[in-house]
Amino acid sequence: MVAAAVQLLHQHGIERTTLADIAQLADVPAGNVYYYFKTKDDVIAAVVEAHVQQVRTTLQSIDSGHRSPKARLKALVRELGGQSEMVARYGCPFGSLCSEIDKRLDAPDFAVADLMLVIIGWAEEQFREMGHGSQARDLAIDLLAAYQGNALLANTLRDPKILSGAARRLDRWIDGAAHAARPTTKPTSTGQ
């Protein structure tokens, strides 16, 4: 049921998705949905948690599959860029959800910021390991902001090429960040 809710909230938005829609997509009786989700806020909380867990799983997979922070950051960009068709059609699953929840004045405090903070924190670790020290957080925010901005444009213009082009540019930007972080070596003195 949560998978159905994730899909529907992404494709149709919070306001247009009903518990009955979730039951139909999940192919379960409506009573089952109402048993687990008493309100739409319960659905939203479950969807946010599902996204956070999915992000953590993806990042753990990237961590285990790549040795260097540069390779890990590039793997994240490939992962995000690989969703260009879906993002062009429905928007970024995380960005859209965060934006919609923020507009609900009557909504309880969801852990929606975690969707962005998990990615930012992880990327910050990569940039710090790369050697960027105090700039690591700013670079992590720049990385996510670049993706989110391009995701918004890809969705607005219904053009997946915008996001795939952004992924290529971010790949080169990561190369530049890795190069800039390299310590400079000083010539050694022979004492003469």
- On whether residue 44 sits in a domain, the answer given is no
Render pLDDT for 114-165 as a digit per residue (tens, 0 to 9): 889 999 999 999 999 999 999 999 999 999 999 999 999 999 999 999 999 9
Q: Is residue 135, in this structure, part of any structural domain at all?
A: yes
Residue 187 domain flag:
no
Residue 177's pLDDT is 96
The answer to the question of residue 70 being in a domain is yes
Q: Is the pLDDT of residue 187 over 90?
A: no
Could you tell me the CATH number of the domain that includes residue 145? 1.10.357.10
Is residue 186 pLDDT above 80, yes or no?
Answer: no
The reported pTM is 0.89
Distance (Å, rounded) from C-alpha 52 to C-alpha 4?
16
**How do residues 89-116 score in pLDDT, each as one tens digit?**
999 999 999 888 888 766 667 777 888 9
Structural domain containing residue 118: 49-181
In this structure, is residue 17 part of a structural domain?
A: no
**34, 19 contact by CB (below 8 A):** yes
- Confidence (pLDDT) at 107: 60
Query: Does pLDDT of 181 surpass 90?
Result: no
Number of domains in the chain: 1
**Average pLDDT of the residues in 53-72:** 97
pLDDT of residue 102: 82
User: Considering the domain boundaries, does residue 65 fall inside one?
Assistant: yes
